[in-house]
């Protein structure tokens, strides 16, 4: 009787490595996203054929976080700031704008994996954090 071992997908690890390689070589990292995936929060006015390409250059984004579940950051689109949430399953590729080098992922890689990640919002952050006591000062004689 053999047990089947399940491994975590390699996509988030490879995406982080390629991002770092692109930045180390002073190139512009572009992220190709399947905007039709559940919980994907991108500016819909820039989506074409269900996909969007996002510029992840350090000077173009704020608070970039690439976890095993999602890529999140804040950026300006048409002068308006927007919080972006891209589940890792929606990442189709990461590549350098200047030469096209990077990685493109198999869209079916996550078909067998149940979706468990839920986008982190201000409400879920507050629920996860314990209630903090209000600071107070007292004058001592």
**Residue 12 maps to a domain:** no
Q: What is the CATH number of the domain that holds 54?
A: 2.30.30.220
Q: Which domain holds residue 83?
A: 28-96
**Residue 81 maps to a domain:** yes
The pLDDT of residue 2:
62
**Residue 44 maps to a domain:** yes
The string of pLDDT tens digits covering residues 19-38 is 999 999 999 999 999 999 99
**Residue 37 maps to a domain:** yes
Number of domains the chain contains: 1
Tell which residue, 93, 121, 130, has the closest CA to residue 11.
93
The string of pLDDT tens digits covering residues 37-92 is 999 999 999 999 999 999 999 999 999 999 999 999 999 998 999 999 999 999 99
Contact, 48 vs 92, CB < 8 A? no
**Residue 130 maps to a domain:** no
**Residue 62 maps to a domain:** yes
Across the chain, where does the E strand assignment appear?
A: 29-34, 51-55, 62-66, 70-77, 80-87, 91-96, 102-104
**Residue 90 maps to a domain:** yes
The pLDDT of residue 132:
52
pTM: 0.76
**Residue 41 maps to a domain:** yes
The pLDDT of residue 74:
96
């Amino acid at each position: 009787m053999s047990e089947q071992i399940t491994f975590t997908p390699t996509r988030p690890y490879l995406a982080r490595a390629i991002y770092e390689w692109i930045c180390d070589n002073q190139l512009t990292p572009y992220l190709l996203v399947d905007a039709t995936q559940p919980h994907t929060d991108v500016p819909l006015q820039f989506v074409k054929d269900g996909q969007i390409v996002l510029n992840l250059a350090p000077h173009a984004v704020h608070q970039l976080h690439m976890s095993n579940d999602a890529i999140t950051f804040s950026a300006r689109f048409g002068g308006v700031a927007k919080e972006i949430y891209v589940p890792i399953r929606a990442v189709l590729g990461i590549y350098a704008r200047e030469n096209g080098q990077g990685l493109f992922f198999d869209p079916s890689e996550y078909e067998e994996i149940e979706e468990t990640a839920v986008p982190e919002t201000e409400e879920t952050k507050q629920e996860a954090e314990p209630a903090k006591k209000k600071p107070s000062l007292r004058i001592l004689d």
